[in-house]
A and B are shown apart, each in its own frame.
Chain A
Amino acid sequence: MTTVHVQYYAILREQARASRETVTTRAQTAAALYAELTARHGFTLAESLMKVAINGEFAPWASVLNDGDEIVYIPPVAGG
């Protein structure tokens, strides 16, 4: 099990009803964790539309999670 800190922005924050949470998971990658969180929170945005940053840097979805990682899921935003 891996414990990571997850931060949500924009529509994800709305759907998760929280801007951050700490998650203990069996998911190995950023993508697998997103799938797990989607099942839990009902996220409507597909992974393909989103970006993920790990420990302050944009990272591939296949990145392997480590204990204590700061994960940020970032949806696209266009308002002006």
Chain B
Amino acid sequence: MAATFSFASKPVDPAAETGRVADPACGGFVSFEGWVRDENEGQRVLGLDYEAYVDLAVREGERIVAEALRRFGVRHVRCVHRIGALSLGELAVWVGVSAPHRAEAFAACRYVIDEVKHRVPIWKKEHYAGGDSGWVNCERCAQPTAAGGQHDHAHHQGHDHGHAQPHAPAAVLPPSDYSRQKQLREIGEAGQERLRRARVLVVGAGGLGVPVLGYLAGAGVGVLGIMDGDTLSPSNLHRQTLYALGDVGQPKALLATRRLRALNPDVDVRPFVERATAASLAPLVGDYDVVVDCSDNFATAFAVHDAARQAGVAAVFASIYQYEGQLQVVRGGGAGSCLRCVWETATPDGVVGNCAEAGVLGPVPGVLGSLQAMETLKLLLDLPGTLTDEVLLVDLLSLETRRLRAPRNRACSQGCVRLGQQPAESVELRFASLDEVAAAGYLLVDIRNDDEVAGRPPPVASVHVPMQRLLDHPEIIEGRGRTVLMCARGSRSRGTTEALRARGLQTVWSLEGGLEAYLAEAGAAIGADSDA
């Protein structure tokens, strides 16, 4: 996988560029070409010069292509922008995206060209037929208009890099109006400000996700992340009321983003067109105040749970079956009971029917999703009555609800002990799986000496920094986030951790008992499993 952005001072060869994103794993390739056009604001253009503050522009361009890779789950993103003198019809900018499927490739390509036009500082000097010339700063359109729309700027200077991007002037919209909720004594201006600063990640933009997203966007939550790797199917529409029949086949995260931006331009909506997994969630979850699990399978719910619990972020879970639903709120900061206190492990998929197998009536996820939106707002606004260490059962046929107490389970080693719930003061951690710890975003550092590492390589992808070097250069791990040091038996790593803590590095831990104890335990676990 690669995301590259570069400038070219010589003509760009599209065929050669296409070859650089070719990949046998990809079934779709989408490219965009922007050409020099012969007319701008009524003046005949003969040619132009592009100039860029290259260092800055490349950095911003690289950021954009990396975002596209991550948000849309495509495999290769490449953008080349010309600088220097260009004549009419010449290729000014080329974007190419390859992906397993076409929908993501189209979306990512569109994203890159739009963002490049808005964010990368490039100037162009146009040479007009009358002998005049004028500089146009392409970055100027990065200024939002009064309407506040993020991507719908009215352009006063025609300066499209390409002819395929006609920008319609943005309609003038009234400002978002929160008066009806601010009217509530518990909310008011202060509560509205809290919502504006809040950040919520919604995993799953389906039956549960649609009401969650609609209400949170309407309420003016500042940042809404949407993670969903699925495309819209016609069978979704009876319960996913944000979408239209004409949207079928498109990624739901992008469809929802478009609708929510139209619903409330105040909200910074961030789509992630990818499956929620431990690896895709770990780097994201810590950026949010609440994560809402609106997924439709156990594996995803547990991945969301573990990532949130690990990052100390509150999470709101719901799931449905035919006419019923279950709701659970897991508090932030490792407080209270968790999903694994109730269900130790994810039930294998297929044991209990999902919506496709068991059927579902549209309002059922509508009600449960609305409850999730409500619990999320209660958490963000500190309203009373939040479901706390409880599971709510809702039966929409009998209209009965039941609030069951679910206190912390002392046997919950997975959700309440294993993952990052140890207070920062404890220096040593024990883990069932170092691979999961790495996937959860910890930096693993092997501090044994060279001979030891050569003799017995570490059982997990890790960085090798011998102990003395680490003590001499603690800056190697400074700012790298949560870090676990490993040695053979756990004593050197503990001493080093204590020394680093004393120097102010608070997010460093030592692997208790070292690699020997870990491997012995992992071996025992493998033996036990094979007996079962």
Contacts and interface: CB of A to CB of B under 8 A. Distances in A.
A78 B405 contact: no
A51 to B, nearest CB: 6
Given A72-B393, A78-B349, 13 more contacts: A10-B321, A10-B322, A10-B352, A19-B395, A72-B404, A74-B326, A75-B321, A76-B343, A77-B326, A78-B297, A80-B206, A80-B295, A80-B365
Interface stretch (B18-26, B159-167, B181-189, B353-361): B353-361
B329 interface: no
A77 B320 contact: yes
Interface of B: 204, 206-209, 294-298, 301, 318-322, 324-326, 342-343, 347, 349, 351-355, 358, 360, 365, 391, 393, 395, 397-398, 402-407
A80 B319 contact: yes
State the main secondary structure of chain B at its contact with A.
mixed
B395 A78 contact: no
A53 B324 contact: no
Contacts of B405: 56-58
Contacts of A45: 351-352
Contacts of A77: 319-321, 324-326, 352
A10 B321 CA distance: 6
Interface in A34-80: 45, 49, 51, 53, 56-58, 72, 74-80
B296 A79 contact: yes
Contacts of B395: 9, 19
Count chain B CB atoms within 10 A of each CB in A11, A57, A79 and give the residue with the most. A79
Contacts of B342: 51, 58
A75 B352 CA distance: 8
For chain A, give the interface size range: 20 to 34
B398 A80 contact: no
Contacts of B343: 51, 76
24 contacts: A9-B393, A49-B352, A53-B404, A56-B402, A57-B405, A58-B391, A58-B407, A72-B404, A74-B393, A76-B347, A77-B325, A78-B295, A78-B297, A78-B321, A78-B347, A79-B296, A79-B320, A79-B354, A79-B358, A80-B206, A80-B207, A80-B208, A80-B295, A80-B318
A47 to B, nearest CB: 13
Contacts of A75: 321, 352
Contact of A79 (B321, B347, B402): B321
B347 A9 contact: no
B389 to A, nearest CB: 10
